[in-house]
Amino acid sequence: MLEDEVIPSELRIARDELATEVPEYGYASERPAHTMAYLQPVIRGLISPIKAGTRVLDLGCGNGAMCKWLAEEGCHVVGVDPSAEGIERARKRGLPNARFEVGLASPDLMAKLGEAPFDLVISTEVVEHLYAPREWAACAFSALGPGGSLVCSTPYHGYVKNVLLAVTGKLDQHFTVLWDGGHIKFWSPRTLSMLLEEAGFGQMVWRGAGRLPMVWMSMVMRGTKPRVE
C-alpha cells in the first residue's frame, strides 16, 4: 500500500471511509446462529470451569445469543457489535448483568466502554469478516487483564478440507464472494496462531468444531495474555 504522504488527501478520505464502512448484517430474530450448536460445547471445554462473576467481553456479539448463555452461567457480560439491529435484539433479551453497545473492535474500544479489564474475551465467527484483523487482535489483548484469555472461532481451513471442496465443486459456495459483508479472510490454525502471537498472546490451544476431523466446520482457538508483560 502507498504511504499516506504520497496519496492525495481526497483519495485518503475516500479510502478511510470505505475501510470503516460496515454493512448491516441483518438479524431477523433472537434465535442463535446455527453455528452455536457446534461451537458452544467446544468453547465450554476451553473455558471450564465457568466461574460466577467472570467478566466477559463478546467482540461481535450479534444478537446476543452467546452472551445469553454466559449470563445464565453467572458471568458479567458486555457485548459489542457494529450491527445496530443486532444490538437492539440483544438488549431486548433483558439479561441480568449484561450490557450491549454498538461498536467496533478498535484500539479505543476500552476507553469508549469505560470498563475495567475483562477475564475473558469471546469472539465467534468474526475474524473472517474483518479487513483489519490485527486491530481486532490488539483490541482483544488490551481488553484483558493479565492471565485473561481470548477464545475465538472461525471457519476451519486445512489441506484435506480445501481439496474436498475443490473436488466436489463447492469452492464458490464456500468462499461466499457474492455475500456483502461476508468472509474476506480464510484462516488456518497456523495463520490464526501467528496473528494472536503477534498481538502478544501465548499458550495457544485449538480444537475443531462441527463435522468430522480434518473437515471441521470451524476451529476454536484460545490464547492467553501473559501475567507479566
Once rounded to an integer, what is the mean pLDDT over residues 152-167?
Answer: 88
pLDDT the model gives residue 56: 98
In a domain, 177, yes or no: no
Amino acid identity, position 125: E
**What are the residues facing 121 on neighbouring strands?**
57, 150
Q: Given pLDDT bands bounded at 50, 70 and 90, which one contains residue 159? A: confident
pLDDT the model gives residue 204: 97
Q: Given pLDDT bands bounded at 50, 70 and 90, which one contains residue 226? A: very high
In a domain, 178, yes or no: no
**Which tens digits make up the pLDDT trace of 181-219?**
778 899 999 999 999 999 999 999 999 999 899 899 999
Once rounded to an integer, what is the mean pLDDT over residues 144-151?
Answer: 98
pLDDT the model gives residue 21: 52
71: domain CATH number is 3.40.50.150
Say whether pLDDT at 149 is over 80.
yes
Tell me the pTM.
Answer: 0.85
Say whether pLDDT at 8 is over 50.
no
For cell 490464547, what's the residue?
A: 223
Q: How far apart are CA 162 and CA 30, in angstroms?
A: 32
**Burial class (CB within 10 angstroms; exposed 0-12, middle 13-18, buried 19+) of 62:** buried
Nearest-CA neighbor of 104 among 180, 8, 26, 20?
A: 20
Sign of CA dihedral 142, 133, 90, 223: negative
Say whether pLDDT at 76 is over 60.
yes
Number of domains in the chain: 1
C-alpha of 178 from chain center? 21
**Which tens digits make up the pLDDT trace of 216-225?**
999 999 999 9
Q: How far apart are CA 179 and CA 177, in angstroms?
A: 6
In a domain, 115, yes or no: yes
Query: 95, 59 in Cβ contact below 8 A?
Result: no
How, if at all, do strands 218-224 and 144-155 pair?
antiparallel
In a domain, 8, yes or no: no
**What are the residues facing 224 on neighbouring strands?**
149, 202
Range of the domain at 137: 32-157+186-224
In a domain, 51, yes or no: yes
In a domain, 170, yes or no: no
In a domain, 6, yes or no: no
* Mean model confidence pLDDT for the chain: 87
In a domain, 197, yes or no: yes
